Structure 1
Amino acid sequence: MTNQTPGESRLFAQLRELHSAMDLAKVSYMLIGGFAVNIHGYVRATHDLDVMVLADDSDLLHDALRKLGYSAIDRRPDLACYFRGNDRLDVLYARRPISQRLLAQARHADLNGLSVPTISAEGLLGLKIQAFSDDPRRIRDLTDMMELVKVNRATMNLDEVRGYFRLFDNESILDDILKSTD
């Protein structure tokens, strides 16, 4: 189990431990998913960590996680899911040039003195529209997209965001989100 310090959440302790393990294993990663949504200004509950790593580093990551006591319950070429007790870690592998570029351009967020590589708000919206396009029942992703645009619209590169929505033939969703945040 994760070693929590007093006053530290289980999820943050998990992140701190993962960050150290990735540094030791020389695996570049960035936060995606709910924790990244929170970093970008829309605070919502999340119970797991989601990260992206280069596909070429999947075996290094797997070995590092096994040393921490994680077990892979699903491991595919594009993603993996690991558990250790109540700790869950979902991994998305960067294979395509767009994902690799997003990973290379990760921005560092300061979380209680820990500098954590995090996906850009634009990239996060790209992953959210991809997930929603794959499964429209993922209403949480739609809500995340609306709130992320509302909070970050003034500083966001909307041309980049539109490109992600266009990629999944869902520009109308972005148009609706933009209208709702006017």
Structure 2
Amino acid sequence: MDFKLVTEKLVAAFRKLDVRYAVIGGFALGLWGYGRGTLDLDVLTNRDDLDKVDNIMQQLGYELKYRSENVSQYVSPLKIFGEVDFLHAFRSASLEMLARADEKEVFGGSLTIRVLRPEDLIGLKLQAMKNDPARSAVDAADIEALVASQGNSLSWPIIEEYCRILAMGDWYDKIRGRAGK
């Protein structure tokens, strides 16, 4: 997958159609200082914008392979365009994540994109661990890396709230401990 090409095309279309979005997943982790391999692009988008997203993805030649209340998965028949997964924001916590998203320059400053803040990425990682405990090792490593790279700048009340919502208070203590707090 050519991340630069895909990101440029998506962001241009998102801006043109006012799609509310933020990059998440492995690509977002890299933008916060933790580079890890990823094979697809993951995006959080407002569920109210799904019709716009569908049109954009179809125009770019992607096929909708899967959709549920929470996610949409698009795959291109062209390897260069790869796979793009969308997480649908419609609950208050995910809508707040979108509202807090930061803008970051990518690809040597040639493009500015919206990306979730580290504490919100941690919230998504905690939710992934809760939903699929088999993923816990990878997600815990991602959380640890985000805490190591962003520790002093993290908003701990936001992380604490995610742990409360998900009934994962023990994880809040672990995360704080890793940050030396």
Percent identity over the alignment is 30
118-127 vs 14-23, greater mean Cα deviation: 14-23
Determine the C-alpha separation between the residues in 1 that align with 2:20 and 2:177.
37
How many pairs does the alignment contain? 174
Aligned partners of 1:11 and 1:47 also within 8 Å:
no
For residue 161 of structure 1, the aligned residue among 145, 159, 174 is 159
Note the residue ranges of structure 1 that are not aligned, 5 or more in a row. Answer: 1-8
Query: Do residues 148 (structure 1) and 146 (structure 2) align?
Result: yes
Question: What corresponds to 2:19 in structure 1?
Answer: 27
Q: Distance in 1 between matches of 2:101 and 2:175?
A: 25
8 Å contact from structure 1 (residues 11, 49) kept in 2 = yes
Question: For residues 64-93 of structure 1, what are the alpha-carbon distances to aligned partners after superposition, in whole Å with 9 as ceiling and x for unaligned?
Answer: 100000001001221100001331101011
Q: Which has the higher helix share?
A: 2
In structure 1, distance between residues paired with 2:14 and 2:115: 14
Matches for 1:1-182 after TM superposition, within 5 Å: 10-84=2-76, 85-86=78-79, 87-111=82-106, 112=108, 113-138=110-135, 139-182=137-180
Distance 1:162 1:12 in 2: 34
Q: How far apart are 1:181 and its partner, in Å?
A: 4.0
Q: Which runs of 5+ in 2 are unaligned?
A: none
Deviation at 1:43, TM superposition (A): 1.1
After TM superposition, the score normalised by the length of structure 2 is 0.91
Partner amino acid, structure 2, of 1:56: D
SS at match of 2:35: coil
User: 2: CA distance between counterparts of 1:135 and 1:103?
Assistant: 23
Q: How far off its partner does 1:108 sit?
A: 0.0
Distance 2:16 2:142 in 1: 32
Q: Aligned AA for 2:178?
A: S
Q: Say if 1:62 and 1:14 are closer, same or farther in 2 by CA, change over 3 A.
A: same
